């Protein structure tokens, strides 16, 4: 519909209708003056005065009556003036009701305003498709629709910013919630004992129960011995003879000292002291060396500290810069304990000669792979490593007992000395060869603790395979030779992946070679890193990053893969890796129990060990136990082994370090930290080393 049509429909048509309706009334109103004038003229012509209304009415009635009948019109055709007036009045009244009087003839401005309002109302009421917008409006509308579709397909920058802001707010709320939970947990831990305290308390209770069982066993054994009178008589006789011999030796010593002579016994040796056995069949009393030979070191404390900062610049023995500090390297400690006063000078000359023979400066390895770069043994393939774990064996019901006589023959070689054997010390075998005492512990019960299942299989060549299945589904497979040496140990995860932990195939080739220190073939070690980067004391460096320290590679090249027994028996091989002294664990005299108050001091070290194991489940940590010089050599050796096992059990039960990643060994008073015969707390300690690069190929094929 065009604008002209709309104007005609809204303005012109109504006005035309109104004009048609009021036309008769308007005509009557225009004729009325002329009729009145005619009547007035007629009245004046009659000569009378102005007629009244009644007279005019009578006159008008008379004229109607006198009109001829044929001239009369029907009322419908010629309405009277009164009827016309009445109709006119009714039309005016209707017009007034339909439209106010002031709007009958509106002005031009009002009419224009009404037209505009009518057009606006009609445009609003008319649908959008009938408005026929202009080309610019249509283009603008199309662009708006396209933009709206694009916004639906991909969010706008404002939406992305809003989304990022919402995520940031959610992250901030989560962090606040986490922080609040941590504070609540800390408050709860402060209000009640921590889980570590509870676990340490449980470990202490287990240790007490174990001690009570051991005490009961000793009491039962004593009761059994009391029931045998002959054994008591024999013991009393031996005791009397021993007392008589001691009194005779004391008298001979006093006489010799009075005469200025060195007392000797009937074999020409210095008398045995401190519990040496002289009555064992087939043995002669051995000459007991002094436990702490005197070593003269004239260097000042400042000079020792200077050497400790850069040991590579000296050929002398590096010692700890403390009062009566022992040598830093265990191999140097053994040389000092030999009783040879010239041992230090000999080792200094050997280091000087070795440095002169070096064609180039030897650098400290920067990784385990670099430390094993010059290995002389062949690296095994993955198929060779998995063959031993997949070999079919015959399952047995009993735990295999390893051949102790063959082990003794291996230790003695061609020497016909038969060691004194003591197997009564809590799964430990003590071999006393006179000039050397060796303790061999059995760590299999510790590994089987809390296992879901464990079983043994016999393999070819006299080997045994132990499989331990844990509750989480992880399997630990260890293969032993007939002497009890570990040939291979692997950890198999839930995904079937095998992690090699220990690998020593040479231990299974032929008869066991005689036991000796494999490090004796190597020149004396030269320490090329500062002492503080080689040894950490947990008491003096509690804030040290233990993970970075444990992850450090060996301090010199590793010639080949060594067996666990070779590492245990050679201080020179152990010196290749760094160590942590747990001097915060202060054992009581003649005790292997870890005090409850000190169990928490292992947390940082344990967390670092767990982090190393999470990165490589095949890592192996070596835990050494040590005592001071108070007491006998054999009791101290067994006590130190018990201390190492006690710390290993604590790390497993309290801090969840897998037992298969820990190997233990006690050394008694052989490697003192402070050279003294007195009771010294720093010597009653436990040491941890990461020996992975020594006992397995690091870069596996």
548-562: per-residue pLDDT in tens?
Answer: 999 999 999 999 999
Residue 656 lies in a domain: no
Residue 476 neighbours by CB under 8 Å, 6+ apart: 447, 467, 468, 470, 489, 490, 491, 492, 660
pLDDT beyond 60 at 424: no
pLDDT beyond 90 at 190: no
* Contact indicator for 294, 304 with CB cutoff of 8 Å: no
Provide the H-helix boundaries in 227-297. 229-259
Average pLDDT over residues 268-291: 38
Residue 563 lies in a domain: no
Q: Which of the four pLDDT bands, split at 50, 70 and 90, describes residue 269?
A: very low
Residue 202 lies in a domain: no
Average pLDDT over residues 256-281: 40
296-352: per-residue pLDDT in tens?
Answer: 788 888 999 999 999 998 999 999 988 889 999 999 999 988 878 888 999 999 998
Which is more confidently placed, 577 or 117? 577
Residue 393 lies in a domain: yes
- Which of 81-85, 363-367, 628-632 is the least confident region? 81-85
Q: Tell me the C-alpha distance between 252 and 266, whole Å.
A: 11
User: Where among 71, 95, 124 does a domain terminate?
Assistant: 124
Residue 640 lies in a domain: no
Residue 339 lies in a domain: no
Average pLDDT over residues 462-483: 91
Which is more confidently placed, 435 or 520? 520
Report helix, strand or coil for 546.
Answer: helix
pLDDT beyond 50 at 287: no
255-264: per-residue pLDDT in tens?
Answer: 554 554 444 4
Q: Tell me the C-alpha distance between 305 and 155, whole Å.
A: 67
Top-ranked range on mean pLDDT: pick from 115-129, 390-404, 523-537:
523-537
User: Where among 124, 146, 177 does a domain terminate?
Assistant: 124
Q: What Cα–Cα distance (Å) separates residue 672 from each residue in 121, 324, 326, 677?
A: 108, 10, 7, 10
Residue 258 lies in a domain: no
pLDDT at residue 142, as a whole number: 80
Q: How many residues are present in the chain?
A: 701
Please write down the HEC assignment for all residues of 129-188: HHCCCCHHHHHHHHHHHHHHHHHHHCCCHHHHHHHHHHHHHHHHHHHHHHHHHHHHHHHH
Q: What is the largest CA-CA distance in the chain?
A: 206
Q: Which two tokens stand for residue 124?
A: 């609003």
Q: What is the DSSP string of 429-448?
A: EEEE-SS-EEEEE--HHHHH
Mean pLDDT, the chain, as a whole number? 75
Residue 66 lies in a domain: yes
* Contact indicator for 33, 41 with CB cutoff of 8 Å: no
What is the helix (H) or strand (E) element at residue 632, kind and residue range?
none
Q: What Cα–Cα distance (Å) separates residue 176 from each residue in 169, 171, 183, 189?
A: 10, 9, 10, 20
pLDDT at residue 664, as a whole number: 96
Which is more confidently placed, 388 or 342? 342
* Contact indicator for 562, 519 with CB cutoff of 8 Å: no
pLDDT at residue 71, as a whole number: 47
pLDDT at residue 698, as a whole number: 81
Structural domain tally of the chain?
A: 2
Which is more confidently placed, 534 or 149? 534
What domain range includes position 397?
382-415+440-508
Compute the half-sphere exposure of residue 559: CA atoms within 13 Å on the CB side of its CA: 11
603-653: per-residue pLDDT in tens?
Answer: 999 999 999 999 999 999 999 999 998 888 888 899 999 999 999 999 999
Average pLDDT over residues 86-110: 68
User: Where among 124, 147, 176 does a domain terminate?
Assistant: 124
């Amino acid at each position: 519909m065009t604008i002209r049509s709309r104007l005609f429909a809204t303005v012109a048509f109504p006005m035309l209708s109104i004009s048609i309706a009021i036309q008769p009334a308007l005509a009557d109103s225009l004729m009325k003056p002329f009729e009145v004038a005619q009547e007035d003229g007629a009245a004046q012509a009659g000569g009378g005065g102005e007629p009244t209304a009644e007279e005019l009415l009578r006159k008008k009635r008379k004229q109607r009556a006198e009109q001829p009948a044929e001239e009369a019109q029907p009322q419908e055709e010629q309405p009277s003036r009164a009827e016309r007036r009445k109709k006119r009045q009714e039309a005016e009244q209707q017009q007034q009701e339909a439209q106010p009087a002031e709007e009958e003839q509106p002005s031009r401005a009002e009419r224009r305003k009404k037209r505009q309002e009518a057009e606006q109302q009609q445009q609003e009421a008319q649908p959008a498709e009938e408005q026929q917008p202009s080309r610019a409006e249509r283009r603008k509308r199309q662009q708006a629709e396209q933009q709206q579709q694009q916004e639906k397909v991909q969010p706008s920058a404002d939406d992305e910013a809003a989304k990022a802001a919402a995520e940031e707010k959610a992250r901030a709320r989560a962090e606040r919630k986490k922080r609040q939970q941590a504070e609540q947990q800390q408050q709860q831990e402060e209000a009640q004992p921590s889980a570590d305290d509870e676990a340490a308390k449980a470990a202490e209770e287990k240790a007490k129960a174990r001690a009570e069982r051991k005490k009961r066993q000793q009491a039962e054994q004593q009761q059994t011995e009391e029931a045998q009178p002959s054994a008591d008589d024999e013991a009393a006789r031996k005791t009397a003879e021993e007392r008589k011999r001691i009194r005779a030796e004391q008298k001979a010593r006093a006489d010799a000292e009075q005469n200025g002579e060195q007392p000797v016994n009937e074999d020409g040796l210095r008398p045995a002291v401190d519990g040496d056995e002289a009555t064992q069949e087939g043995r002669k009393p051995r000459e007991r060396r002094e436990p702490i030979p005197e070593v003269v070191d004239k260097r000042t404390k400042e000079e020792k500290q200077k050497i400790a900062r850069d040991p590579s610049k000296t050929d002398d023995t590096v010692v700890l810069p403390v009062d009566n500090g022992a040598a830093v390297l265990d191999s140097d400690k053994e040389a000092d304990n030999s009783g040879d006063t010239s041992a230090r000078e000999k080792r200094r000359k050997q280091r000087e000669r070795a440095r002169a023979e070096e064609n180039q400066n030897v650098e400290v390895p920067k990784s385990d792979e670099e430390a094993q770069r010059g290995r002389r043994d062949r690296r095994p393939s993955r198929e060779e490593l998995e063959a031993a774990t997949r070999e079919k064996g015959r399952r047995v019901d009993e735990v295999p007992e390893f051949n102790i006589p063959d082990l003794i023959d291996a230790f003695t070689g061609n020497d016909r000395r038969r060691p004194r054997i003591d197997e009564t010390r809590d799964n430990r075998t003590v071999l006393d060869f006179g000039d050397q005492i060796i303790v061999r512990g059995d760590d299999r019960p510790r590994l089987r603790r809390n296992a879901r299942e464990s079983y043994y299989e016999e393999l070819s060549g006299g080997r045994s395979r132990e499989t331990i299945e844990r509750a989480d589904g992880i399997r630990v497979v260890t293969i032993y030779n007939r002497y009890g040496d570990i040939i291979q140990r692997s950890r198999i995860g839930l995904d079937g992946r095998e992690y090699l932990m220990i690998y020593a195939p040479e231990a299974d080739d032929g008869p066991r070679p005689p036991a000796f220190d494999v490090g004796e073939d190597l020149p004396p070690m030269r320490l090329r890193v500062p002492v503080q980067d080689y040894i950490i004391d947990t008491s003096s460096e509690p804030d040290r990053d233990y993970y970075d320290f444990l992850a450090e590679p060996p301090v010199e090249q590793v010639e080949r893969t060594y067996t666990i027994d070779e590492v245990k028996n050679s201080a020179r091989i152990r010196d290749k890796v760094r160590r942590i002294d747990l001097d915060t664990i202060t054992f009581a005299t003649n005790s292997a129990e870890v005090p409850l108050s000190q169990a928490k001091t292992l947390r940082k070290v344990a967390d670092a060990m767990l982090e190393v194991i999470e990165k490589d489940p095949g890592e192996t940590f070596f835990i050494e136990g040590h005592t001071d010089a108070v007491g006998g050599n054999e009791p101290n050796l067994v006590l130190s082994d018990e201390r190492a096992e006690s710390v290993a059990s604590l790390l497993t039960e309290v801090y969840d370090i897998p037992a298969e990643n820990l190997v233990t060994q006690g050394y008694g008073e052989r490697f003192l930290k402070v050279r003294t015969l007195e009771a010294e707390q720093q010597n009653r300690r436990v040491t941890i080393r990461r020996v992975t690069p020594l006992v397995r190929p690091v870069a596996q094929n």
